[in-house]
Structure 1
Amino acid sequence: MDWTLFFIFLLACAGAATTGAMFQPGKWYDELRKPGFTPPNWVFPVTWTVLYICIAVAGARAAPLDTTGHAMAIFAVQIAFNTLWTPVFFGLHNTKAGLVVIGILWLSVAGTLWQFWQLDWIAGLLFVPYLVWVTIAFALNFEVWRLNRARPIAT
């Protein structure tokens, strides 16, 4: 593995992770009604740390291979929407817009997984836990929106 590429992809993931530090759940999130399958708050940073390392390794494995243009383009979309979700959901307190963002994130993660799998099955495999987690996050976002849709968007 090219360690320089790994650290570049890890830096991209760190940029996405920074939004989690900037826009923390806080009182607004604590007061929302949540489904029974909501993980405890400590699970999120632990899971995302592992996932970001997997994402960076997958990117570093796929990037130097031939014909990676589509894979890298879809990778860019997923990291952009990964970065966007936290400020929309926790920053703007907009669960409905968060649902749209995470829907696009899910599609782009699935697309990246597919493209990576075609290039390097290990890179594709490293995206499987990410897709599983985003699936759970989508379901959680949907249920939070559904359970709280009568609440006005907090500003």
Structure 2
Amino acid sequence: MNSSWIMPVAIALVAALGVAFIGGTITDLGPWYEGLAKPDWTPARPVFPIAWTLIFTLAAVAGVTAWRAAPNARSADTVIGLFALNGFLNIGWSLIFFRMQRPDWAFVELAALWLSILVLIIYCGRLSRLAGLLLVPYIVWVTVAGALNWQVVQLNAPFG
């Protein structure tokens, strides 16, 4: 790896680990979550950390790839801004769902998260086809999470 990759990779790694760490500390799988009715197709608990580790790794690689492919500083800054917004929305969902215990509000927030991933795929994909493709598992997983979130709302409402 040449030295021009070291700083972007380090920043992407720290950002991905930061979002994962904050999201993980907010996620409370205690009595409230365990008491929720969930659909039969809910993935087994070990699937979540495996999926998120893969997704954050792919997203970090996508971010660096798109950033490096950016034709100018403005495009590179846009990549960083879009990933920052996405990280904020990702953490926000965990905060609303688990800490506020509001799956209904979390579902609305998840729509914004999903749209931010779509924008990332489109924007990064224009800079690098590979970067866009690396983000596809993220939108697929969040789509599944959205369906699961919706089912939790349907099975347990009202909240608050």
TM-score above 0.5, yes or no: yes
User: In structure 1, how many angstroms separate the alpha carbons of the residues matched to 2:78 and 2:16?
Assistant: 19
- Structure 2 segments unaligned to the other structure (5+ residues): none
The match for 2:64 is 60
The match for 1:77 is 85
Asked whether the equivalents of residues 117 and 124 of structure 1 are also in contact (C-alpha less than 8 Å), the reply is yes
**Does residue 37 in structure 1 map to residue 41 in structure 2?**
yes
Q: Under a length normalisation based on structure 1, what TM-score does the superposition of the two structures give?
A: 0.91
Alignment of 1:5-154 (within 5 A): 5-18=8-21, 19-64=23-68, 65-66=70-71, 67-150=75-158, 152-153=159-160
Asked whether the equivalents of residues 125 and 132 of structure 2 are also in contact (C-alpha less than 8 Å), the reply is yes
Identity among equivalent positions (%) equals 36
Per-residue CA deviation, residues 89-131 of structure 1 (Å, 9 max, x unaligned), is: 1111111111111110000001101111110001101000001
Q: Under a length normalisation based on structure 2, what TM-score does the superposition of the two structures give?
A: 0.88
Counterpart AA for 1:3: I
User: In structure 1, how many angstroms separate the alpha carbons of the residues matched to 2:47 and 2:102?
Assistant: 22
- Report the Cα offset of residue 69 of structure 1: 4.2
Asked whether the equivalents of residues 23 and 86 of structure 1 are also in contact (C-alpha less than 8 Å), the reply is yes
Asked whether the equivalents of residues 15 and 83 of structure 1 are also in contact (C-alpha less than 8 Å), the reply is no
Q: Bigger shift: 47-56 or 1-10?
A: 1-10
Q: How many residues align?
A: 152
- Report the Cα offset of residue 16 of structure 1: 1.4
Counterpart AA for 2:123: Q
SS in 2 for 1:35: coil
Q: Bigger shift: 23-32 or 103-112?
A: 23-32
Q: Bigger shift: 65-74 or 26-35?
A: 65-74
Q: Bigger shift: 94-103 or 126-135?
A: 94-103
Counterpart AA for 1:50: L
Counterpart AA for 1:31: G
